């Protein structure tokens, strides 16, 4: 069986090379012959040197490169049948019967048309004498699988397309830089981002930077928006804000279908308000740069799933696209996804904007609803008489402040009094509690660490003082943001309810830790930022070995006993091994790894990268592994070691952590507000049921609330990790991509799902 790697879209995005690398290596691992098709469909039509065999080494050192190393081109020839006949002839001559295509909906639609016409094209080629009957018989069927590469995230059926997260990184870097100068000069900044038909980049950017207004194609502003916008900007300045930020998607338009440009908005703000206003149009800078860790992992996972889909395909299997839903890899019928994507455009054209938002998918809809809640509603004049306290627990991490900001503002919108608790449970015990207002949390989304201050102190020893202060400050609900200490602290407060009636209030724990080790959630706020820090550091380390060659680096990562960071950074940085506590190893395994590197040094790739989780093994320390590799590799390679340390906890939050923190903070307060209504009895709040104290977490495909008491049995308290961790199933991918001969578990492969959503008929 043969697998062809074919890149078809004429616009390239960051993360595609990770998909190319994974497809090539897993294809070779399965025993298939793998080809590169250079310059997209044009290369397929022209054939010759454009279609070349791919080797294991040919995809080395490409994970950190933006764009696509095998080229891309707009192709008019493939649009006509004659061109597709030439492409079919080239494939038949090489015995290629499987195509893996990365591109947008146009490229993928073209691939499906090619597949549909395949039998007819072969018949025409036989009649023309271009191929023999025997060749046609051997290549009687063409399998197609697609991966979506688009920074706009405009393909329905997937939460994230390859390249979107990297584009958000580029945008947020610019927003952060602009924000500092805008604050200094009290300016209004209008930032135009890509998205001709889809407002995803604009919407997530607005959430991630706390923009005052966002214009997206799916939801044009209501008539009279000019007055509303100016009033909003003036209100923000009156509240003490020194800057305004407006995000515009390039495809933004009014309800009348008239384009809204950044220059139009600038003229409006300048003329009506007299504000010093500047515009920035980002353009193609959004497409370039180093891929983010998320895009590398997404591309790698999609590449593996694409090969599996091709190997399992039959003549009756429809062309599919592999995509992501939550943290799950899914397969969807290609043309169903294309149809829904077209339905969005049709809904917008018909003025059915709510439907267009829904058709974009749950992720887009949730982002839009969160943005509306935080940006479009002013705090009510009537108060709810509810006091809600927020505290950070454990080690600080990037994204904590975004969660605090969203929780504070959502609470104020609900009419609650929001209380900031400084220095965690310690601060709660010592009365470090004060009201916090709307303006106090301005600009917090982009700030790393914890603005409230945080400590690791657990409440067990200070329950008396905590209960007294809950009563003193009349606290009705708690938002606890932090890592494993926040989870254990929440459990201790629940267990104390029997003795202290003051603890009988609703509470929610929001996981926020670089270790990603909180039970009840697949992801924690802060882990993505730490992962990107490790990945970019590993890139630099590997680059330093490119000149010297024959060098192996041993890098120690954080995470406590949780191997999430080491495993995911290993996949994103192309590590040869990642040692973690959950995947036990012994001296024989270390010897196998050393032998593997000795063999690797005989190839053209003369460098190695080994990651080690800080607590993976008490005896096989970083120093021990460094000494072992140094001794065994003598004369073949030399070693260097790096302990990354606390740099993994610092830095500005990534777009994912800002967005995730914002959604978690918002959802937690809405849940507590509903829970308080349930628990209000006889003129007071009394909450002692299990479901009144929960962890809010991302589980597979949605945000869910799970009672702390229920999670007790799912926790390894000694090692501070959940007993079951989803990412362990991804580890074999890292090993296969590093050329280890292990068995890939396909028992949990993605089955074909369906994406078709019903559109409401157009009424006259």
CA distances from 197 to 8, 153, 347, 563 (A): 20, 10, 12, 40
Lowest-confidence segment of 75-84, 291-300, 475-484 by average pLDDT: 75-84
Closest residue by Cα to residue 295 from 210, 400, 168, 202: 168
pLDDT of residue 445: 93
Separation CA 483–CA 397 (nearest Å): 9
Lowest-confidence segment of 63-77, 208-222, 416-430 by average pLDDT: 63-77
Mean of the pLDDT values across residues 79-101?
A: 93
The confidence band for 1, taking pLDDT boundaries of 50, 70 and 90, is very low
pLDDT of residue 3: 41
- Whether 4 has a pLDDT exceeding 70, the answer reads no
pLDDT of residue 182: 67
For 739, the 3-state DSSP assignment is coil
Annotation: binding site for ATP: 74-75, 104-107
- Whether 242 has a pLDDT exceeding 90, the answer reads no
- Whether 178 has a pLDDT exceeding 90, the answer reads no
Separation CA 252–CA 250 (nearest Å): 6
Separation CA 188–CA 668 (nearest Å): 31
For 738, the 3-state DSSP assignment is coil
pLDDT of residue 439: 87
Separation CA 517–CA 484 (nearest Å): 7
Annotation: binding site for substrate: 150-152, 187, 194-196, 250, 278, 284-287
Annotation: binding site for beta-D-fructose 2,6-bisphosphate: 456, 513-517, 551, 558-560, 614, 640, 646-649, 720
For 274, the 3-state DSSP assignment is coil
Higher pLDDT, 613 or 602: 613
Distance of CA 197 to the CA centre of its chain: 21
- Whether 760 has a pLDDT exceeding 50, the answer reads no
Annotation: binding site: 74-75, 104-107, 150-152, 187, 194-196, 250, 278, 284-287, 456, 513-517, 551, 558-560, 614, 640, 646-649, 720
Q: What is the pTM of this model?
A: 0.92
Buried b (16+ CB within 10 A) or exposed e, 205-224: bbbbbbbbbbbbbbbbbeee
- Whether 544 has a pLDDT exceeding 90, the answer reads no
Identify the burial level of 674 via C-beta atoms within 10 angstroms of its C-beta, where 0-12 means exposed, 13-18 middle and 19 or more buried. Answer: exposed
Same fold, 382-525+653-720 and 529-649: yes
Mean of the pLDDT values across residues 184-209?
A: 90
pLDDT of residue 728: 94
DSSP one-letter string for 495-536:
HGGGT-GGG-S-EEEEEB-TT---TT-S--BTHHHHHHHHHH
User: DSSP state, 197?
Assistant: S
The confidence band for 377, taking pLDDT boundaries of 50, 70 and 90, is low
In 10 A of CB 22, how many CB atoms?
28
pLDDT of residue 653: 96
Mean of the pLDDT values across residues 540-561?
A: 87
Per-domain boundaries in the chain: 16-161+291-343, 164-287, 382-525+653-720, 529-649
CATH class of 382-525+653-720: alpha beta
Mean of the pLDDT values across residues 436-456?
A: 93
Closest residue by Cα to residue 388 from 657, 675, 661: 675
In the set 46, 152, 159, 528, the catalytic residue is 152
| 300-317: pLDDT as tens digits | 999 999 999 998 988 888
For 582, the 3-state DSSP assignment is coil
The confidence band for 565, taking pLDDT boundaries of 50, 70 and 90, is very high
Identify the burial level of 409 via C-beta atoms within 10 angstroms of its C-beta, where 0-12 means exposed, 13-18 middle and 19 or more buried. Answer: buried
Buried b (16+ CB within 10 A) or exposed e, 165-199: bbbbbbbbebbeebbeebeeeebbbbbbbbbeebb
Q: How many CA atoms lie within 13 A of 83 on its CB side?
A: 15
pLDDT of residue 76: 85
Closest residue by Cα to residue 167 from 182, 149, 185, 184: 149
Mean of the pLDDT values across residues 273-277?
A: 90
Closest residue by Cα to residue 646 from 558, 538, 537: 558
- Whether 395 has a pLDDT exceeding 70, the answer reads yes
Closest residue by Cα to residue 639 from 603, 612, 604: 612
Maximum Cα interatomic distance, the chain, rounded to a whole number of Å = 91
CATH class of 16-161+291-343: alpha beta
Identify the burial level of 525 via C-beta atoms within 10 angstroms of its C-beta, where 0-12 means exposed, 13-18 middle and 19 or more buried. Answer: buried
- Nearby residues of 232 by Cβ (< 8 Å), 6 or more positions away: 212, 213
| 95-148: pLDDT as tens digits | 999 999 998 878 888 888 999 999 999 999 999 999 999 999 999 999 999 999
- Whether 759 has a pLDDT exceeding 80, the answer reads no
Mean of the pLDDT values across residues 721-734?
A: 94
Question: Active-site residue 264, yes or no?
Answer: no
The confidence band for 186, taking pLDDT boundaries of 50, 70 and 90, is confident
Mean of the pLDDT values across residues 695-705?
A: 89
Mean of the pLDDT values across residues 427-439?
A: 95
- Nearby residues of 645 by Cβ (< 8 Å), 6 or more positions away: 558
CA distances from 214 to 178, 265, 495, 655 (A): 17, 11, 45, 16
pLDDT of residue 13: 66
The confidence band for 159, taking pLDDT boundaries of 50, 70 and 90, is confident
DSSP one-letter string for 357-418:
HHHT-HHHHHHHHHHHHHHS-PPPSS----EEEEEEESS--TTHHHHHHHHHHHHHHTTPEE
Closest residue by Cα to residue 178 from 288, 280, 286: 280
| 31-51: pLDDT as tens digits | 999 999 998 899 999 999 999
Max mean pLDDT range (26-40, 51-65, 261-275, 478-492): 478-492
- Whether 64 has a pLDDT exceeding 60, the answer reads yes
- Whether 65 has a pLDDT exceeding 90, the answer reads no
pLDDT of residue 327: 79
Mean of the pLDDT values across residues 587-611?
A: 92
CATH code matching the domain that covers 529-649, chosen among 1.10.10.10, 3.40.50.460, 3.40.50.300, 3.20.20.70: 3.40.50.460
Has domain 164-287 been given CATH number 3.40.50.300? no
Separation CA 572–CA 322 (nearest Å): 19
What's the whole-number average pLDDT of the chain? Answer: 90
pLDDT of residue 271: 94
Closest residue by Cα to residue 78 from 114, 129, 116, 48: 114
Identify the burial level of 16 via C-beta atoms within 10 angstroms of its C-beta, where 0-12 means exposed, 13-18 middle and 19 or more buried. Answer: buried
Distance of CA 519 to the CA centre of its chain: 20
Are the CB atoms for 154 and 108 separated by under 8 Å?
no
- Nearby residues of 727 by Cβ (< 8 Å), 6 or more positions away: 522, 564, 567, 568
Beta pairing, strands 387-393 & 454-455:
parallel
The confidence band for 6, taking pLDDT boundaries of 50, 70 and 90, is very low
For 591, the 3-state DSSP assignment is helix
Closest residue by Cα to residue 412 from 239, 219, 230: 239
Separation CA 431–CA 533 (nearest Å): 36
Are the CB atoms for 532 and 654 separated by under 8 Å?
yes
For 689, the 3-state DSSP assignment is coil
The confidence band for 386, taking pLDDT boundaries of 50, 70 and 90, is very high
The confidence band for 73, taking pLDDT boundaries of 50, 70 and 90, is confident
pLDDT of residue 530: 96
Annotation: binding site for Mg(2+): 105
Higher pLDDT, 13 or 511: 511
In 10 A of CB 81, how many CB atoms?
13
- Whether 431 has a pLDDT exceeding 90, the answer reads yes
* 3-state DSSP of 42-67: HHHHHCHHHEEECCCHHHCCCCCCCC
């Amino acid at each position: 069986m043969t697998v062809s790697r074919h890149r078809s879209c004429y616009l390239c995005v960051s993360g595609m090379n990770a998909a190319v690398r994974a497809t090539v290596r897993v294809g070779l691992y399965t025993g298939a012959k793998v080809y590169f098709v250079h310059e997209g469909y044009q290369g397929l039509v022209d054939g010759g040197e454009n279609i070349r065999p791919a080797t294991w080494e040919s995809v080395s050192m490409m994970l950190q490169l933006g764009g696509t190393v095998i080229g891309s081109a707009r192709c008019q020839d493939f649009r006509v049948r004659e061109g597709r006949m030439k492409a079919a002839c080239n494939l038949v001559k090489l015995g290629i019967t499987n195509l893996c295509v990365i591109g947008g909906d146009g490229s993928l639609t073209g691939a499906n048309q090619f597949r549909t016409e395949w039998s007819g094209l072969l018949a025409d080629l036989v009649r023309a004498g271009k191929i023999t009957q025997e060749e046609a018989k051997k290549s009687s069927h063409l399998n197609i699988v697609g991966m979506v590469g688009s920074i706009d995230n405009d393909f329905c059926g997937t939460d994230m397309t390859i390249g979107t997260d990297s584009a958000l990184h580029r945008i947020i870097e610019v927003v952060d830089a602009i924000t500092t100068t805008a604050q200094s000069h009290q300016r209004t900044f209008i930032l135009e981002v890509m998205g001709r038909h889809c407002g995803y980049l604009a919407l997530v950017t607005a959430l991630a930077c706390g923009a005052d207004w966002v214009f997206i194609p799916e939801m044009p502003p209501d008539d009279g928006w000019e007055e509303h916008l100016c009033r909003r900007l003036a209100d923000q300045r009156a509240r003490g804000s020194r800057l305004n930020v407006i995000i515009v998607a390039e495809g933004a338009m009014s309800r009348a279908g008239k384009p809204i440009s950044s220059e139009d908005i600038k003229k409006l703000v300048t003329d009506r308000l007299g504000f010093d206003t500047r515009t920035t149009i980002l353009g193609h800078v959004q497409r370039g740069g180093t891929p983010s860790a998320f895009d590398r992992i997404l591309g790698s996972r999609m590449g593996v799933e694409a090969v599996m889909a091709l190997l399992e395909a039959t003549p009756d299997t429809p062309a599919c696209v592999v995509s992501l839903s939550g943290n799950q890899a899914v397969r969807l019928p290609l043309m169903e996804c294309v149809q829904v994507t077209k339905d969005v455009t049709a809904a917008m054209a018909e003025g059915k904007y709510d439907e267009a938002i829904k058709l974009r998918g749950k992720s887009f809809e949730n982002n839009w609803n969160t943005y509306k809640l935080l940006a479009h509603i002013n705090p009510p004049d009537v108060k709810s008489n509810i006091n809600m306290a927020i505290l950070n627990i454990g080690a600080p991490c990037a994204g904590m402040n975004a969660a605090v900001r969203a929780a504070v503002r959502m609470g104020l919108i609900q009419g609650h009094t929001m209380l900031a608790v400084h220095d965690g449970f310690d601060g709660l015990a010592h009365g470090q509690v004060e009201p916090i207002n709307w303006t106090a949390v301005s600009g917090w989304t982009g700030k790393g660490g914890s603005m409230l201050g945080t400590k690791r102190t657990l409440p067990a020893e200070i329950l008396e003082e905590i209960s007294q202060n809950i009563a003193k400050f009349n606290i009705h609900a708690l938002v606890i943001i932090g890592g494993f200490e926040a989870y254990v602290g929440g459990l201790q407060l629940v267990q104390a309810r029997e003795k202290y009636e003051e603890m009988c209030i609703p509470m929610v724990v929001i996981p926020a830790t670089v270790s990603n080790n909180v039970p009840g959630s697949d992801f924690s706020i802060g882990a993505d930022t730490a992962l990107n820090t490790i990945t970019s550091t590993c890139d630099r380390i590997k680059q330093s070995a490119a000149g010297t060659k024959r060098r192996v680096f041993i890098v120690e990562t954080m995470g406590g006993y949780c191997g999430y960071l080491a495993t995911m950074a290993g996949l994103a940085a192309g590590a040869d091994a990642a040692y973690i506590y959950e995947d036990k190893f012994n001296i024989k395994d270390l010897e196998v790894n050393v032998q593997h590197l000795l063999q690797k040094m005989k190839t053209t790739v003369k460098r190695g990268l080994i990651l080690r989780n800080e607590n993976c093994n008490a005896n096989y320390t970083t120093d021990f592994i460094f000494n072992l590799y140094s001794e065994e590799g003598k004369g073949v390679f030399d070693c260097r070691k790096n302990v990354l340390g606390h740099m993994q906890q610092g830095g500005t939050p990534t777009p994912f952590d800002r967005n995730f923190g914002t959604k978690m903070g918002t959802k937690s307060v809405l849940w507590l507000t509903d829970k308080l209504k349930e628990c209000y009895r006889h003129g007071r709040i009394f909450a002692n049921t299990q479901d009144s104290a929960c962890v809010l977490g991302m589980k597979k495909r949605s945000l869910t609330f799970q009672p702390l008491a229920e999670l007790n049995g799912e926790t390894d308290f000694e090692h501070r990790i959940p007993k079951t961790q989803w990412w362990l199933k991804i580890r074999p991918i890292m090993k296969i991509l590093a050329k280890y001969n292990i068995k890939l578990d396909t028992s949990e492969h993605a089955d074909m799902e369906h994406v078709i959503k019903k559109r409401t008929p157009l009424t006259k």
